Amino acid sequence: MSTPHSVYDFTIATSTGDEKSLQDYRGKVLLIVNTASKCGFTPQYEGLQELHNKYHERGLVVIALPCNQFGNQEPGSNAEVQEFCQINYGLSFPVMGKIDVNGAGRHPLYSYLTEQAGGLITDSIKWNFTKFLVDRDGQVVDRFSSTQKPASIAAHIEKLL
C-alpha cells in the first residue's frame, strides 16, 4: 500500500466479513474505538450510543472495532459480538468485525492512527476503548484514553461538526 494520506485510504471488515471502505464516510466526523464486551470499560458503549444519538444527524459516525488483544475480553465470534451489543446496548452505530490493534497482526488502520496520534510513553494501544477522533477530511485530530468517558469528549466532537 502506498503511504496513506487519511483514514479514507483504508478498508475494514464488517461483522459479516465484507470489506467496508472508510471512503464511504468521507465528509463525516469519525470516532473510531477499539471495543470489548467483557471489559470494565464496556459500559462506555452506552456513552458512545449517546454521542451517536446526539450528533449523528450533524455528521458523526461512531465506529466500534472489537478487539480480543487485552485480557481475552472479546472472545466471541463476530455474530456473538453483534448479539451482545444489540441485546445489552441497542447500538445503532457500526460494530465491525474483530481486529488486532497491536502486534504483528495489527490492522494497517491502527498503524496509521497511532502514527498520527501517539500515546503517552508508547504509541501502542494500551487497552480497550481507546478513541480516535477524525475530522471531515479524514485526518486524525485527537486520541483519548480508555479512561476518558465518551461524554467528556463531546466538546471536541462539536468543534468538528
pLDDT in tens, 70-89: 999 999 999 999 999 999 99
**Nine-digit cell at 2?**
502506498
Catalytic-role residue among 12, 22, 29, 39: 39
1 belongs to a structural domain? no
Query: Can 39 be counted among the known catalytic residues?
Result: yes
Mean pLDDT of the chain: 94
Secondary structure of 43-56 as H, E, C letters: CHHHHHHHHHHHHH
**Does residue 132 surpass a pLDDT of 90?**
yes
CATH number of 136's domain: 3.40.30.10
**Nine-digit cell at 68?**
480480543
Which residue in 36, 42, 4, 37 sits closest to 22, CA to CA? Answer: 4
pTM over 0.75: yes
**Does residue 63 surpass a pLDDT of 70?**
yes
142 belongs to a structural domain? yes
User: Is-contact 39 129, C-beta < 8 A?
Assistant: yes
Distance (Å, rounded) from C-alpha 156 to C-alpha 48? 14
pLDDT in tens, 89-120: 999 999 999 999 999 999 999 999 998 877 65
141 belongs to a structural domain? yes
**Nine-digit cell at 136?**
471531515
Q: Which structural domain range is residue 140 located in? A: 7-160
